Amino acid sequence: MPFELTDPGVLVLGLVVLAIVILIMGAKPVPQGLEYTVERFGRYTVTLRPGLRLIVPFMDRIGAKMNMMETVLDVPSQEVITKDNAVVQVDGVVFYQVLDAAKAAYEVRNLERAILNLTMTNIRTVMGSMDLDELLSERDQINARLLTIVDDATEPWGVKVTRIEIKDISPPRDLVESMARQMKAEREKRAVVLEAEGARQAAVLRAEGEKKAAVLEAEGRREAAFRDAEAREREAEAEARATQFVSDAIAAGNVQAINYFVAQRYVEALGRFATSPNQKILFLPLEASSVIGAIGGITEIAREAFGNNGPDGGAGPGGGSAGGGRPRPPSRPPSRPATGGPAGGAGGAGGDRPVAGGPVPRPVPPGPWGRGSGGDQA
């Protein structure tokens, strides 16, 4: 049985098929990371987010499919003239992300080309204002300045420039060789400066050490001088005390102290002659009788100190006999006759023995014992 177009079942079936076709045409699945712009009769109306979206068929259509993920764009190599007229080859990379699909689709044509040209021109501007040394050593500063400039310029396009990196800076070969020579010269200069600095510090330290040594040596000499002066002072005090004792003995009438003092000096002088490195020959006799006489005087001092009056019973300090006893024979012939004892009167008929002291002292006035015809008086 043939179908007729006026049949209600055919009409319903056609409407169902038409609805299905319209639904299929209006359903638009949007992948993750992309956004679609919708145009109605050629005018932007809405942006479709990721997922299954519906539009009005025959009235709306998909305008632009924008990638919302961060995108990497290589900057091709180009020549840049620096501030000091050095020509270098520079390339880089740009990272950007579309934040507004409508602006990125309708505010600029060919977004990637626009970003690429903008980056290249700003690279020449920024790097052309710097010297070659700054260009090679301050890449972070270059990247920061480029990022600020390009990001501000692309903001109306709905794009966020996240990073700009300079990959390679290639100076010419002759410039690289000259830079190597310059670096070598600079390092040699630093080495020379460091050596000179080390030598200067060593000289300073050596001078300080010598100064401290000289100061310590001077302090040592000063201390030694103080000790020597103190020793000489003590010696002088002892000498003065000894001289005072001798003077007191002489004042008390004991002339034999002079003999002891002179004999001591005489013997010391002979000892110095004997031990001198320049004087090895001594001509004798060297007033030896005077030395023996001085030693005899020392014996007399000892006898008087211990209270020994001699075997003759003499009581006079000069050795004369008090009761006219016989005189004690001298140990040696006197060089000249004695005129009197050093402390007592001159011997009388009984005979006083001569003084056993070095050089014969000058005659002295009669002592408190007086001078008698038969010897010294008590």
Tens digit of each residue's pLDDT (9 = 90 or more) over 5-50: 566 777 788 888 888 888 888 888 999 999 999 999 889 999 999 9
Say what percent of the chain tops pLDDT 70: 68
Query: Considering 208, 228, 252, which residue would you say is the last residue of a domain?
Result: 252
Whether 2 is in a domain gets the answer no
Domain count, the chain: 4
Whether 128 is in a domain gets the answer yes
The answer on 264 and 144 residing in a single domain is no
Whether 12 is in a domain gets the answer yes
- pLDDT value of residue 36: 94
Question: Residue 127: which CATH number?
Answer: 3.30.479.30
pTM above 0.95, yes or no: no
Asked if residue 243 has pLDDT above 60, the reply is yes
Whether 107 is in a domain gets the answer yes
The answer on 281 and 244 residing in a single domain is no
Whether 3 is in a domain gets the answer no
Residue 334 CA: distances (Å) to CA of 38, 180, 300, 337? 161, 111, 17, 6
The arithmetic mean of pLDDT across residues 325-346, rounded, is 41
Torsion of Cα atoms, 6 then 9 then 11 then 14, to 10°:
-140
Query: Considering 136, 171, 206, which residue would you say is the last residue of a domain?
Result: 171
**Residue 334: phi, psi to the nearest 5?**
-70, 145
pLDDT class of 298 with cuts at 50, 70, 90: low
Q: What angle in degrees, to the nearest 10, is found between the helix axes of 288-305 and 256-275?
A: 130
Q: For 20-24, 275-279, 296-300, 310-314, which range has the lowest pLDDT when averaged over its residues?
A: 310-314
The answer on 202 and 163 residing in a single domain is no
The answer on 368 and 290 residing in a single domain is yes
The answer on 200 and 147 residing in a single domain is no
Which one has a higher pLDDT value, 274 or 73?
73
295 touches 263 (CB < 8 A)? yes
Asked if residue 332 has pLDDT above 80, the reply is no
Whether 1 is in a domain gets the answer no
The arithmetic mean of pLDDT across residues 294-300, rounded, is 61
The answer on 180 and 162 residing in a single domain is no
Asked if residue 367 has pLDDT above 60, the reply is no
| Residues paired with 43 in a beta bridge | 40
d(Cα 147, Cα 102) in Å, to the nearest integer? 23
Which one has a higher pLDDT value, 333 or 94?
94
Q: For 257-266, 269-278, 338-347, which range has the lowest pLDDT when averaged over its residues?
A: 338-347
- The two structure tokens encoding residue 185: 């010269």
Residue 225 CA: distances (Å) to CA of 214, 217, 228? 16, 12, 5
| Residues paired with 164 in a beta bridge | 94
Whether 352 is in a domain gets the answer yes
Q: For 3-17, 100-114, 157-171, which range has the lowest pLDDT when averaged over its residues?
A: 3-17
Range of the domain at 104: 71-171
- pLDDT value of residue 331: 44
> What DSSP assignment string belongs to 206-267?
HHHHHHHHHHHHHHHHHHHHHHHHHHHHHHHHHHHHHHHHHHHHHHTT-THHHHHHHHHHHH
Asked if residue 210 has pLDDT above 60, the reply is yes
107 touches 101 (CB < 8 A)? no
Which one has a higher pLDDT value, 17 or 116?
116
Asked if residue 327 has pLDDT above 90, the reply is no
Query: What is the chain's mean pLDDT, rounded?
Result: 76
The answer on 290 and 371 residing in a single domain is yes
Query: Considering 208, 235, 252, which residue would you say is the last residue of a domain?
Result: 252
- pLDDT value of residue 218: 92
The answer on 56 and 14 residing in a single domain is yes
Which one has a higher pLDDT value, 26 or 363?
26
The arithmetic mean of pLDDT across residues 162-191, rounded, is 88
Asked if residue 177 has pLDDT above 60, the reply is yes
- pLDDT value of residue 255: 62
- pLDDT value of residue 292: 60
- pLDDT value of residue 281: 63
Under DSSP, the state recorded for 117 is H
The answer on 347 and 264 residing in a single domain is yes
Residue 4 contacts by C-beta under 8 Å, 6 or more apart in sequence? Answer: 10
The answer on 140 and 54 residing in a single domain is no
- pLDDT value of residue 376: 39
Asked if residue 65 has pLDDT above 80, the reply is yes
The answer on 50 and 155 residing in a single domain is no
142 touches 130 (CB < 8 A)? yes
d(Cα 328, Cα 308) in Å, to the nearest integer? 14
The answer on 264 and 332 residing in a single domain is yes
